[in-house]
């Protein structure tokens, strides 16, 4: 795994799953969302990131442009044959995800452990 410096993400590997923890509490406005999207795209382009778990447990607010960055990640990754799951969304963030239909295109798990179990099934 490359040692890239990210402003919004912390990376780790659990077996063959790239765990991408979003560490920014509030993703507000187009600049933060663009930065988040750019960082997620870097991760999704890596050979070692065939299975990607994006963990939102530290995120209290995700703007509509932030959700757009997540949609873009899912579309890019799935188009390249990668698996993506999301986890750890606080109720308000989860509600936003459901309103914009994110739950229709990607699995949203309650926490990292549940997402890792879900990956292990396949």
pLDDT tens across the length of the chain (122 residues): 444 689 999 999 999 999 999 999 999 999 999 999 999 999 999 999 999 999 999 999 999 999 999 999 999 999 999 999 999 999 999 999 999 999 999 999 999 999 999 999 87
The domain locations on the chain are: 9-120
Q: At what angle do helices 29-44 and 64-79 cross, to 10 degrees?
A: 20
Architecture of domain 9-120: 2-Layer Sandwich (3.30)
Q: Distances from the Cα of 32 to the Cαs of 26, 29, 53, 61, in angstroms?
A: 9, 6, 20, 12
Sign of torsion over alpha carbons 81, 44, 73, 94: positive
- The string of DSSP letters for 49-77 reads -SEEEEE-TT-SEE-HHHHHHHHHHHHHH
pTM as predicted: 0.94
pLDDT single digits (tens) 62-91: 999 999 999 999 999 999 999 999 999 999
Query: Which residues does 68 contact at the CB level (< 8 Å), separation at least 6?
Result: 33, 37
């Amino acid at each position: 795994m490359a040692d890239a410096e990210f402003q919004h993400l912390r990376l780790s590997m659990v077996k063959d799953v790239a765990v991408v923890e979003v560490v920014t509490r509030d993703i507000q406005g187009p600049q933060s969302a663009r930065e988040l999207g750019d960082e997620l795209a870097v991760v999704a382009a890596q050979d070692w990131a065939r299975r990607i778990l994006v963990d939102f447990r530290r995120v209290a607010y995700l703007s509509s442009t932030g959700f757009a960055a997540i949609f873009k990640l899912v579309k890019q990754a799935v188009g390249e044959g990668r698996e993506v799951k999301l986890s750890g969304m606080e109720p308000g963030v989860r509600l936003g995800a459901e309103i914009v239909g994110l739950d229709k295109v990607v699995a949203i798990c309650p926490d990292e452990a549940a997402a890792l179990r879900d990956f292990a099934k396949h």
